[in-house]
Amino acid sequence: MSDSSFYNDLDGSLAEAWRLLQDGVADRKAPFHTPSVATVAGDGTPRVRTVVLRKVDAEARWLQVHTDRRSGKVAELSANPAAALHFYDPEAKVQLRLRGRAAVHADDAVADAAWAATRPFSRACYRIDPGPGTPLAAPDGYAEPEPDDPEVGREIFRVIRVSIAEIEWLYLAAQGHRRARFAWDADGRLEAGWLVP
C-alpha cells in the first residue's frame, strides 16, 4: 500500500495536482515550472514547446504563462484557442495532462499586472529583435538593445491564460499505478473518475 494520502482518493489526487502546479509557480527548480504546451497551427498540425508556468488559480481553474506577441503560439491561439499542457515530475512520479481554452491578454489589467511583476532579467526577452523563430544567417544574428526605459518590450509582451476544462492525473506507483480524469462542464460542475492506467 502506498503511503501517499492520495493513492486511492480522487479528491486527494486532485488536491495534489493543484499543489504540484502551485509548486511549479513558486519554485523555478520544480519539474512543473516548465511544462510543454501544445497548440494547433493554421495547417491543422500540432505544435509543442516548453513554457514557464507563471501563475495558477485552482479555485478559478486557470494557469498563466508569458510570451512574445511575435511567437507562433500567439497567432495559433488567436485562431484556435484549444490548448493542452503536459507536466511530469520524475521524483513524485506524477504526470498531468491538462486541456482547456486559452485567452491571449495584451493591453488589459491581466497583462499590466504580469508585466509589473516581471523581473528586469525576464523583460530582456521582449527586447530582442527580430522576433522569435525568425531565420538567422548566424547564431548570434539578433540584437538585444539596452533600454533607457524599463517599459521597452511591454508592447510585445503577452499573457496566455488557459481555462482548464480537464485534468488527467497519472501516478506511477510500484504497488499499482493510479490514473484519474477530472472534467468540468460549462457550468463548472466537476465529473471525476478513475481510469485504467
pLDDT on residue 108: 97
Flag whether 1 is in a domain: no
C-alpha cell at 100: 482547456
pLDDT on residue 146: 75
pLDDT on residue 5: 86
Flag whether 2 is in a domain: no
Task: Spell out, as residue ranges, where the chain has pLDDT lower than 50.
Answer: 1
Flag whether 158 is in a domain: yes
pLDDT in tens, 137-195: 999 888 877 777 888 899 999 999 999 999 999 999 999 999 999 999 999 999 999 99
Contact between residue 121 and residue 127 where contact means Cβ atoms under 8 Å apart: no
Residue 98, domain extent: 10-134+142-195
pTM: 0.93
For residue 26, give the CATH number of its domain: 2.30.110.10
- The owner of cell 500500500 is 1
53-57 and 178-184 beta bridge pairing: unpaired
pLDDT on residue 160: 98
CA of 105: how far to CAs of 113, 132, 158, 164, in Å?
11, 18, 6, 17
Q: Which residues contact 74 (CB under 8 A, 6 or more apart)?
A: 67, 68, 104, 158, 160
Number of domains observed in the structure of the chain: 1
Flag whether 3 is in a domain: no
pLDDT on residue 1: 41
pLDDT on residue 2: 53
pLDDT on residue 121: 82
Nearest-angstrom CA–CA distance, 13 and 128: 41
Flag whether 177 is in a domain: yes
Classify 147 in phi/psi space as left (phi over 0), alpha (psi -120 to 50) or beta.
beta
Flag whether 37 is in a domain: yes
Contact between residue 33 and residue 19 where contact means Cβ atoms under 8 Å apart: no
pLDDT on residue 3: 61
